[in-house]
Chains A and B, each alone.
Chain A
Amino acid sequence: AQSVAQPEDQVNVAEGNPLTVKCTYSVSGNPYLFWYVQYPNRGLQFLLKYITGDNLVKGSYGFEAEFNKSQTSFHLKKPSALVSDSALYFCAVRDMSGGYNKLIFGAGTRLAVHP
């Protein structure tokens, strides 16, 4: 079965510093991986996806993610964090079992960016 794990419940970073939010995956076949962000009392907003191609994927709001097949990881990164980046971040993998698409989400990582 497809799964993702987010090993950190919370990540704290100072504004202006680089940030990393970790995600590891377990899949059979080629992984289709996603990052979503959730602000308080809101739904999930799509940030970026990896399907194939370059291991460094660029997304919305200056975020990027690095796909590493040997380490089965898909970490979210940003060179310089903003206070407004504080939110809940979810990694997800596409699951095609049953002949239809669905996303399997991790438990989420809360990012807190301090001024």
Chain B
Amino acid sequence: ETGVTQSPTHLIKTRGQQVTLRCSSQSGHNTVSWYQQALGQGPQFIFQYYREEENGRGNFPPRFSGLQFPNYSSELNVNALELDDSALYLCASSSQGPLHFGNGTRLTVT
């Protein structure tokens, strides 16, 4: 059974740029969620995708957007990067059980 994989593992961007993070969900999982974990804090829910549609969103601005593909993999896009977007971005997949997380992408915005 393949777990949740995320790419890249690390990324450095400049303020104002755009970034795309990728996630392959665990085999058999049709729901993907994205979380942002700032340094020293717990993960915060960004949004969730089910069957290629966003079906839930947390308190994040519209410049955070996403996609889910027919194979249930997903992308997180962030436009107009700000310094405060520096964080560990976690992807999690699920079917009907608990969330299974990937190792995350560490994004640094300078």
Contacts and interface: CB of A to CB of B under 8 A. Distances in A.
Given A105-B43, A108-B41, A108-B42, A100 B100 contact: no
Interface in A92-110: 92, 98-108
A102 B33 contact: yes
Nearest to B91: A43
The B interface, classified by DSSP as helix, strand, loop or mixed, is strand
Interface in B1-55: 4, 6, 31, 33, 35, 40-45, 48, 50, 55
Contacts of A36: 101
B42 A90 contact: yes
* Interface size band for A: 20 to 34
Interface of A: 34, 36, 41-46, 49, 90, 92, 98-108
Most chain A beta-carbon neighbours within 10 Å: one of B43, B50, B101: B43
The A interface, classified by DSSP as helix, strand, loop or mixed, is strand
Contact of A107 (B4, B41, B92): B41
B66 interface: no
Most chain B beta-carbon neighbours within 10 Å: one of A43, A49, A98: A43
Nearest to B56: A100
A44 B103 CA distance: 7
In the A-B complex, the 5 residue pairs with the closest CB atoms? A105-B42, A100-B56, A43-B101, A44-B101, A102-B45
